[in-house]
Amino acid sequence: MSCTSITILVFLLFTFTYLLFKLLLNPKQKTINHKKPPGPPPLPIIGNLHLLGTLPHRTLESLSKKYGPIMSFQLGQVPAIVISSSKVAESFLITNDMVFANRPNIIGAEIMSYGCKGMSFSKYGPYWRSVRKLCASKLLSPSKVEMFGPIRKEKLDVLVKSLENGSLVSEVVNVSEVVENLIEDIVYKMVLSRSKYDQFDLKRLVQQVMTLVGSFNLADYVPWLGAFDPQGLTRACKKTSKALDEVLETIITEHEQTTNNVDKASHEDFVDTLVTFMHQNIDDGSEQNHNIDGSNMKAILLDMIVASIDTSAATIEWALSELLRHPRVMKKLQDEIQNEVGNKRMVEEKDLKKLNYLDMVVDETLRLHPVSPLLLPRECRESITIDGYFIKEKTRVIVNALTIGRDPNIWSENAEEFYPERFINKKMNYEGHEEFESIPFGFGRRRCPGIQLGLRTVRFVLAQLVHCFNWKLPYNISPSNLNMDEKFGQSIHRAQHLHAIPIYRLEAHHKLQ
């Protein structure tokens, strides 16, 4: 008998046993008269998992049109609520933000994040507040965003020079790959002070982390399957985590040995900052003390690296894709930059504050292609009734940012179109209450703390690439038939890499300093 056949038989046996025990132990179980939101009828054991498909955010968008903006959805043994409108999201993420501030247990995050000691997946409480405060004030503050400006410029200069050389022979460039490599180089230099470690393939390991954490693990929703690990994801997570731990341990040790180097003060990286807090109390104002040890540091660093790379690269990739599909918008953006910068030099970060149409292009990209269309899930900390619906403690809350950003009631009948001009009279900062119609970075207590760093990177890279180059699609592709299919993961990337031909357009070739 094959391994697959044995797995199927074991699954059927446990399913039968589960149903039998449920029937025997609860023959006259009373139904509590609590009104639940409407939703598709669940199947035994798997609930509605069979409906998700390969692009869950699209499936849930479609189902919300039938069942409404607040929908019940059974994820195996885990009850869930799917939110698909800005009004309902406001009730959850602002009015009752404290109730829904928890993160659910996710096997991949538990393994990769040292027992969820990072900021993204840790439970709401004093420890999470302390870590967030540390990251926001010491790693992601406005002063840090400014301090790392020279790194962004240095790495982008190198890329522009490389693309300029390729343009001489009309080279077709894998734009997706080029952008991801650029963002990785920037992030590693900010976090680690160097782009690579010769003895480790850090980039490959981080990419594995992003893939594994973003993978759909059945054991998260049907807990008894965890003992069998039918998809092999738990084994893969443990293997990758062990290899990554060796790298992070080496990095931290190296930084500890150079902490007292007087030259470090002028270009302190994220690890240097965390090392200064090693074994110190990070007080959040409560009576509890939280010390930063090695596992805390590694979990926080991994959060910083993964979130910074995946989100920025995906946003730039989608923005360039939309600009190639809409030559009118591309020309208008290039004209704005040229009017402010001229065509004899590259864009500087100080120019960005004058580029209003660039902001509109980025806002429109984030509306149509939110970084993580299904925001990191939350978990209900206590039973509550909202809009007449009873939501039980431990219910998982999924906010579909994709649906919210494409709501025709908010964005009019052209909500599916890429039209940056819709933001002419709407300035987005993603951190105030007035922009709740588009929430690509989340909202409330658990929103992304690295918004300003991410936006600065996206705007600078995008401005530089469209200012220095005209971009043409390969000869067999036109703007109207450019494939825009998606690939599901923690962040949504293009299913097919974007390829284009750069044509250098500045009068005076930029000279690297």
pLDDT, position 23: 54
Average pLDDT of the chain is 87
pLDDT tens-digit readout, 36-82: 999 999 999 999 999 999 999 999 999 999 999 999 999 999 999 99
CA atoms within 13 A on the CB side of 22: 9
Q: Where residue 24 falls among pLDDT bands split at 50, 70, 90?
A: low
Cβ atoms of residues 110 and 391 within 8 Å: no
Residues with Cβ within 8 Å of 306's Cβ and at least 6 positions away in sequence, in order, are 206, 209, 210, 213, 490
Domain range list for the chain: 35-504
Task: Give the integer Cα–Cα distance in Å for 261 and 333.
Answer: 45
Three-point CA angle 66, 35, 38, nearest 5°: 10
Token pair of 237 as six digits: 């997570």
> Closest by alpha carbon to 322, among 363, 375, 374, 373?
363
Burial of 23 (0-12, 13-18, 19+ CB in 10 A): exposed
Task: Give the integer Cα–Cα distance in Å for 158 and 277.
Answer: 34
Task: Give the integer Cα–Cα distance in Å for 132 and 123.
Answer: 12
pLDDT tens-digit readout, 285-329: 554 566 788 899 999 999 988 888 888 999 999 999 999 999 999
Alpha-helical regions (H) of 68-171: 86-90, 107-112, 126-134, 142-147, 149-167
Cβ atoms of residues 344 and 65 within 8 Å: no
As a CATH number, domain 35-504 is 1.10.630.10
Cβ atoms of residues 138 and 282 within 8 Å: no
pLDDT, position 262: 46
> Closest by alpha carbon to 452, among 195, 149, 188, 213?
149
Task: Give the integer Cα–Cα distance in Å for 386 and 62.
Answer: 23
Query: In sequence order, what DSSP letters do the residues of 367-415 get, joined into one string?
Result: HHS-SSSBPPPEE-SS-EEETTEEE-TT-EEEEBHHHHHT-HHHH-TTT
Is the predicted pLDDT of residue 259 greater than 90, yes or no?
no
Is the predicted pLDDT of residue 191 greater than 80, yes or no?
yes
More confident residue, 505 or 204: 505
Task: Give the integer Cα–Cα distance in Å for 305 and 319.
Answer: 22
Task: Give the integer Cα–Cα distance in Å for 491 and 375.
Answer: 9
Task: Give the integer Cα–Cα distance in Å for 411 and 402.
Answer: 13
The pTM assigned to this predicted structure is: 0.89
CA 362 remoteness from chain centre: 16
Is the predicted pLDDT of residue 279 greater than 90, yes or no?
no
DSSP 3-state of 502:
strand
More confident residue, 398 or 252: 398
pLDDT, position 283: 57
DSSP 3-state of 471:
strand
Task: Give the integer Cα–Cα distance in Å for 106 and 372.
Answer: 17
Q: Where residue 94 falls among pLDDT bands split at 50, 70, 90?
A: confident
Give me the percent of the chain exceeding a pLDDT of 70: 86
Q: Where residue 21 falls among pLDDT bands split at 50, 70, 90?
A: low
Cβ atoms of residues 368 and 314 within 8 Å: no
Cβ atoms of residues 362 and 352 within 8 Å: no
- Kindly provide the b/e burial profile for residues 95-130, where b requires at least 16 CB atoms within 10 angstroms of the residue's own CB: ebbebbbbbbebbbbbbbbbebbbbbbbebebbbbb
Average pLDDT for 367-387 = 93
Is the predicted pLDDT of residue 4 greater than 50, yes or no?
no
pLDDT, position 151: 94
pLDDT, position 293: 85
Q: Which helix (H) or strand (E) holds 260?
A: none
- Edge-to-edge strand list for the sheet holding 78-83: 70-75, 78-83, 396-399, 378-379
